[in-house]
Amino acid sequence: MSEQTIEEVTGEALLEPLPDDVDPGQGRTVFSAWHLVLLPLALVMVIPLVWMVVTSFETLNETRQFPPVLVPGSIRWQNYRDVLEQAPFARWFLNTLFVTVAVVIGNLVFCSLAGYAFARLKFFGRDVVFLLVLATLMIPFQVIMIPTFLIVRQLGLIDTLGALIVPNLAGAFGIFLLRQFFRTLPIELEEAARIDGASRLGILFKIVLPLSGPALATLAVITFMWTWNDFLWPLVTIYSSNNMTLQLGLTTFQGAHQSNTHLLMAATMMSMLPLLLLFFVAQRWFIRGIATTGLKG
> For residues 19-78, which are near other proteins according to CB under 8 A?
19-20, 26-32, 34-35, 37-39, 41-49, 51-52, 55, 63-68
Residue 195 lies near other proteins (rule: CB under 8 A):
no
End-to-end CA distance of the chain: 8
Residue 198 lies near other proteins (rule: CB under 8 A):
no
What does the alpha-carbon distance between residue 204 and residue 67 come to, in Å, rounded to a whole number? 61
**Nearer to other proteins among residue 31 and residue 85 (C-beta):** 31
Among 269, 233, 230, smallest CA distance to 57 is for 269
What's the min distance (Å) between Cβ of 250 and other proteins?
5
Residue 220 lies near other proteins (rule: CB under 8 A):
no
What's the min distance (Å) between Cβ of 289 and other proteins?
9
What does the alpha-carbon distance between residue 267 and residue 191 come to, in Å, rounded to a whole number? 53
What does the alpha-carbon distance between residue 14 and residue 59 come to, in Å, rounded to a whole number? 45
Crossing angle of helices 261-281 and 246-256, rounded to 10°: 160
Residues in the chain: 297
**Nearer to other proteins among residue 211 and residue 272 (C-beta):** 272
Q: CA–CA distance from 256 to each of 33, 87, 228, 259, 265 (Å)?
A: 48, 10, 22, 9, 14
Region 223-252 residues binding other proteins, contact defined as CB under 8 A: 225, 228-229, 231-232, 235-236, 247, 250-251
Q: How many residues bind other proteins (CB under 8 A)?
A: 115
- Count CB-CB contacts under 10 A for residue 36: 10
Region 132-161 residues binding other proteins, contact defined as CB under 8 A: 132-133, 135-136, 138-140, 142-151
What does the alpha-carbon distance between residue 28 and residue 138 come to, in Å, rounded to a whole number? 42
**Nearer to other proteins among residue 211 and residue 278 (C-beta):** 278
Residue 1 lies near other proteins (rule: CB under 8 A):
yes
**Nearer to other proteins among residue 184 and residue 283 (C-beta):** 283
Instruction: Determine which residue in the list 111, 215, 220, 244 makes contact with other proteins, applying CB under 8 A.
Output: 111
Region 159-188 residues binding other proteins, contact defined as CB under 8 A: 166-167, 169-172, 175
What's the min distance (Å) between Cβ of 74 and other proteins?
19
Could you tell me which residues come within 8 angstroms of residue 44 by beta carbon, excluding any fewer than 6 positions away? none
Residue 113 lies near other proteins (rule: CB under 8 A):
yes
Region 75-94 residues binding other proteins, contact defined as CB under 8 A: none
Per CB under 8 A, the segment of 76-84, 119-127, 182-190, 210-218 that binds other proteins is 119-127
Sign of CA dihedral 16, 130, 219, 181: negative
What does the alpha-carbon distance between residue 229 and residue 286 come to, in Å, rounded to a whole number? 14
**Nearer to other proteins among residue 207 and residue 272 (C-beta):** 272
What does the alpha-carbon distance between residue 200 and residue 295 come to, in Å, rounded to a whole number? 27
What's the min distance (Å) between Cβ of 266 and other proteins?
11
What's the min distance (Å) between Cβ of 90 and other proteins?
18
Q: 271, 109 in Cβ contact below 8 A?
A: no
